[in-house]
Amino acid sequence: MIKRNLLVIGLAVMLSACGFQLRGTGTNELSIKEMDVSARNAYGQTVAQLRAALERSGVNVHTGAPYRLRLTNEREDERSASYASGSRTAEYELTTTLNYSILGLNDLELLSDKVEVRKIYVRDGGNITGSDQEATQAREVMRRDLVQAMMTRLQNLNPAQLDELQRKADERAQAEAAALEAARRQQAETPQQSPLEILGK
């Protein structure tokens, strides 16, 4: 009994040393300590769960943070995955895609990407209520998976990477501003013909 307990403890220590965590336990350590979070659906469950997950990970989520995570679009698609012959039971695949971007100083976009999760559930034509409940549960699990995937993406970022992305975004913005100013000056310096001169030709 003692040997078995020691073996279990030893395995747990080895797994934790490798960075493994059981699903739903512990927190993801983020090197980013401040972040604002916004979404098109400001009161949606996804953004609320993501804020809570960030706060559990020690991130100070507040307006005015140097970086802002913006959830730009969350889309759900459903398609038939398979049919059971001779019955009204069918498998459906749900796909949820979350597009996001991270903004830095002056609201400059530092990066944009998306995370996607999929899940299959069974719909029984003879048990509509049960099928609807299963679909609801599948969506809840998918939302948790979506938040976890988003946390993993954020876990892979660090302030040095974001600072470098900010520097590149600043350079792009300055180059675009210089190009616009050059075009404006060129237009201002180009002699404009009056309508009468054009008609005279």
Residues in the chain where the model's pLDDT stays below 50:
1, 3-26
Contact (Cβ atoms closer than 8 angstroms) between residue 74 and residue 104: no
Confidence at residue 115, expressed as pLDDT on a 0 to 100 scale: 96
Distance CA(132)–CA(71), nearest Å, equals 27
Long-range own/partner contacts, residues 16-23 (CB < 8 A, 24 or more apart): 23/148
Distance CA(170)–CA(173), nearest Å, equals 5
| Domain encompassing residue 170 | 31-176
How many domains are there within the chain? 1
Domain assignment present for residue 26? The answer is no
Confidence at residue 133, expressed as pLDDT on a 0 to 100 scale: 83
Domain assignment present for residue 20? The answer is no
Domain assignment present for residue 24? The answer is no
Distance CA(174)–CA(180), nearest Å, equals 10
Confidence at residue 108, expressed as pLDDT on a 0 to 100 scale: 94
Tell me if the pTM is above 0.85: no
Q: Which residues contact residue 166 at a Cβ distance below 8 angstroms, ignoring those fewer than 6 apart?
A: 104, 105, 108, 110
Q: Which residues contact residue 153 at a Cβ distance below 8 angstroms, ignoring those fewer than 6 apart?
A: 113, 115
Other C-beta atoms lying within 10 Å of the C-beta of residue 158: 11
Domain assignment present for residue 165? The answer is yes
Domain assignment present for residue 186? The answer is no
Confidence at residue 92, expressed as pLDDT on a 0 to 100 scale: 84
Domain assignment present for residue 67? The answer is yes
Using one digit for the tens of pLDDT, what is the confidence trace for 16-62? 444 444 344 345 578 999 999 999 988 999 999 999 999 999 999 99
Distance CA(75)–CA(99), nearest Å, equals 9
Domain assignment present for residue 44? The answer is yes
Confidence at residue 99, expressed as pLDDT on a 0 to 100 scale: 97
Confidence at residue 198, expressed as pLDDT on a 0 to 100 scale: 58
Distance CA(36)–CA(100), nearest Å, equals 13
Confidence at residue 36, expressed as pLDDT on a 0 to 100 scale: 96
Domain assignment present for residue 196? The answer is no
Q: What is the CATH number of the domain that holds 68?
A: 3.30.160.150
Other C-beta atoms lying within 10 Å of the C-beta of residue 50: 25
Q: Strand 34-39's sheet: what is its strand order?
A: 60-61, 34-39, 68-83, 89-103, 109-124
Contact (Cβ atoms closer than 8 angstroms) between residue 92 and residue 123: yes
